[in-house]
């Protein structure tokens, strides 16, 4: 079997394989690369000794049975579970995504246990499962954003074979799979890449320290390393799309950016395989160039999360005004209306949170609505709160139904966060399992300091290292059977079905969306083609002029009176309805 590793700064490289040591030789055709031939089988353990130090796991290794500080294991990629093609008609324009964390979606916290719950998702009607990061990280549990081995699958979840089985099961159920990947940093514990070469650079600094080397000397190989990892998820595991974490934090001054290179490579793979692969960005820049085609001078990603939509909707529902919500709190329904017709609230407007103007306008003539994802809850927007409290902790079932209505009938590709569909009462808290005691204490004290600035007492903040914090964040699958949760779940199913069957609700034309609202009385209506959506966030009933007669109710959270001869409709408090001619 051929083994190879990039170690450009090393004078001698050897490989430790199943207890035997093999000297490696320089590849004369590839600068910095070392190769060796040795007998190996699926599961063989190996690592590399660099100038006598190590052995360290393979940076491109697919499996780390003992975690990132142990040896790699050989994986026969061809022997992974078969991956039937996903059901047709699941491109982004028709998509409804469902974000989940493998470790807390089920009590077992494994790919196989998550696969056993796919029937719930097909009954809900979503089209894609979006997995939070699954690459290997230190410790047994965590959110996954401190991964240190971008090619390897976290062993406690089930390793590479478990991920392949999950993808195969999802495809067999007609569901696509999106995987969250992190290229802007690697975790601080178990990261052995610096021993191999210039994977990081102090030319730039990020919130996590030195930057991943995308533009300094040696960056060609670092880019190839990350590109290869991204394509491997799509090619070898049958993943249908990637969510790219915090692309605004990618420090990259090269003329051809890493994101453009990745976009081109994924488009080429899609063309070669005939599969509709896509890339979804998380970005706080409010920059439409992120999803503008490369041929038009953009980066060429296929969609991006729209936090402005979330923030406006959250403020309208809760009245909160702290931190970044301050930009939306003065007139949240007006802000929400703007996002629903122009995508970004910050399109060159003043941001009091940032102390400067922010964003860039979206050209609605050239930018379809499915370039953006809309959501009322995500792992970040819940878990970055002090207590990890969901909307269900403070809102009535009626207001939760209103949030679902705006998200699922609005112009953007809807994304749900696991458990929101039944109003889960379990929190989603920030949890870690760092084996390094100093790092564990730094994370614990840092989180307490962060929230102390907002008036929280240290003892009120859940300890990320306490296993109970993780346990509290697991979904309670007995809840959907309870009446109050079952009613909301049925509402979500109804709305998802309406979206998937009614073409007007998937119309990509942002300029065609018409929104009216009353900030004081807290109601909002919007039109998507022939469909009219009414949402009353007030506890009091309101009367809204629809401007026409003869409408029929497609769905209503509370019973509605039919419009009178003057075209007015009476909407109960904290309720929503979807209407059509």
Contact between residue 580 and residue 561 where contact means Cβ atoms under 8 Å apart: no
Q: Which residue has 């939306």 as its token pair?
A: 328
Contact between residue 259 and residue 105 where contact means Cβ atoms under 8 Å apart: no
Contact between residue 189 and residue 435 where contact means Cβ atoms under 8 Å apart: yes
Contact between residue 424 and residue 441 where contact means Cβ atoms under 8 Å apart: no
Task: Please choose, from the candidates 477, 320, 491, the residue with its C-alpha nearest in 3D space to the C-alpha of residue 400.
Answer: 491
Entry field: residues in the chain: 581
Contact between residue 46 and residue 4 where contact means Cβ atoms under 8 Å apart: no
CA atoms of 560 and 577, how far apart (whole Å): 8
DSSP 391: G
Contact between residue 417 and residue 407 where contact means Cβ atoms under 8 Å apart: no
Contact between residue 85 and residue 171 where contact means Cβ atoms under 8 Å apart: yes
Distances (CA, A) of 23 to 52, 195, 267, 450: 11, 18, 39, 49
The alpha-helical segments, DSSP class H, found in 319-436 are 326-329, 332-342, 379-383, 397-409
State yes or no: is 320 an active-site residue: no
- Spell out where 117-221 has E strands: 128-131, 135-136, 149-153, 176-181, 200-206, 209-212
The radius of gyration of the chain's CA atoms, rounded to the nearest angstrom, is: 25
> Residue 205 has which token pair?
């600094």
The alpha-helical segments, DSSP class H, found in 25-141 are 102-105, 111-115, 118-124
φ, ψ dihedrals at 562, nearest 5°: -70, 150
Contact between residue 521 and residue 550 where contact means Cβ atoms under 8 Å apart: no
Find the helix packing angle between 219-236 and 258-273, rounded to 10°: 30
Task: Please choose, from the candidates 220, 131, 124, the residue with its C-alpha nearest in 3D space to the C-alpha of residue 179.
Answer: 131
Q: Give the helix, strand, coil percentages of the chain, each rounded to 5.
A: 35, 20, 45
Q: Which residue has 């979804």 as its token pair?
A: 280
- Label the pairing between strands 45-50 and 72-73: antiparallel
The alpha-helical segments, DSSP class H, found in 76-130 are 102-105, 111-115, 118-124
The catalytic position among 146, 215, 282, 433 is 282
Three-state SS for 46? strand
The catalytic position among 58, 146, 155, 245 is 245
> Residue 320 has which token pair?
């909160």
State yes or no: is 245 an active-site residue: yes
φ, ψ dihedrals at 121, nearest 5°: -75, -40
> Catalytic residue numbers?
245, 282
């Amino acid at each position: 079997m051929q083994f190879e590793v990039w170690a450009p700064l090393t004078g001698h490289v050897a490989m430790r394989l199943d207890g035997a040591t093999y000297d490696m030789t320089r590849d004369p055709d590839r600068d910095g690369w070392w190769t060796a031939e040795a007998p190996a089988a699926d599961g063989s353990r190996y690592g590399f000794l660099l100038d006598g130090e190590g052995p360290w796991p393979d940076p491109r290794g697919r499996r780390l049975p003992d975690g990132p500080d142990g040896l790699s294991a050989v994986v026969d990629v061809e022997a992974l579970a078969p991956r039937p093609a996903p059901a047709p008609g699941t491109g982004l324009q028709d998509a409804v995504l469902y974000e989940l964390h493998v470790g807390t979606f089920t009590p077992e916290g494994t790919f196989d246990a998550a696969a056993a719950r796919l029937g719930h998702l097909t009954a809900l009607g979503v089209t894609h499962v979006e997995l939070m990061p699954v690459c290997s990280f230190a410790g047994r549990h965590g959110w996954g954003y401190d991964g240190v081995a971008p090619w390897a699958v976290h062993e406690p979840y089930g390793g590479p074979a478990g991920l392949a089985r999950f993808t195969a099961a999802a495809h067999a159920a007609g569901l696509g799979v999106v995987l969250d990947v992190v290229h802007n940093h690697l975790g601080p514990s178990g990261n052995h890449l610096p021993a191999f070469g210039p994977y990081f650079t102090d030319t730039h600094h990020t919130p996590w320290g030195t930057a991943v080397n995308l533009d300094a000397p040696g960056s060609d190989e670092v880019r190839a390393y990350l590109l290869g990892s991204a394509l491997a998820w799509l090619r070898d595991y049958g993943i249908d799309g990637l969510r790219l974490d915090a692309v605004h934090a990618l420090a990259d001054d090269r003329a051809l950016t890493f994101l453009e290179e990745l976009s081109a490579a994924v488009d080429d793979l899609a063309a070669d395989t005939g599969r509709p692969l896509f890339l979804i960005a998380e970005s706080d820049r409010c920059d439409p160039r992120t999803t503008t085609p490369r041929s038009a001078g953009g980066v060429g990603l296929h969609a991006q999360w729209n936090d402005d939509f979330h923030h406006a909707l959250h403020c309208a529902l809760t009245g909160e005004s702290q931190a970044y919500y301050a930009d939306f709190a003065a007139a949240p329904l007006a802000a929400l209306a703007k996002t629903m017709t122009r995508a970004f609230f910050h399109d060159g407007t003043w941001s009091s949170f940032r102390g400067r103007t922010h964003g860039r306008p979206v050209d609605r003539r050239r930018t379809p609505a499915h370039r953006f994802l809309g959501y009322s809850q995500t792992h970040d927007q819940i878990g970055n709160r002090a207590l990890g409290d969901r909307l269900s902790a403070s809102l009535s079932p009626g207001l939760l139904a209103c949030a679902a209505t705006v998200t699922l009938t609005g112009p953007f590709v809807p994304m749900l966060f696991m458990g929101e569909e039944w109003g889960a009462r379990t929190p989603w808290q920030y949890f870690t399992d760092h084996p390094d005691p100093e790092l564990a204490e730094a994370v614990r004290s840092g989180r307490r300091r962060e929230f102390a600035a907002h008036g929280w007492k240290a003892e009120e903040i859940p300890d990320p290292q306490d296993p109970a914090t993780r346990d509290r964040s697991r979904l309670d699958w007995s809840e959907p059977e309870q009446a109050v949760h079952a009613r909301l779940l049925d509402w979500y199913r109804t709305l998802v079905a309406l979206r998937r069957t009614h073409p007007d609700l998937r119309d990509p034309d942002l300029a065609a969306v018409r929104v009216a609202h009353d900030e004081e009385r807290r109601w909002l209506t919007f039109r998507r083609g022939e469909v009219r959506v009414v949402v009353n966030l007030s506890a009091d009933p309101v009367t809204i002029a629809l401007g026409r007669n003869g409408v029929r109710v497609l769905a209503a959270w509370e019973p509605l009176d039919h419009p009178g001869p003057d075209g007015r409709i009476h909407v109960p408090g904290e309720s929503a309805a979807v209407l059509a001619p």
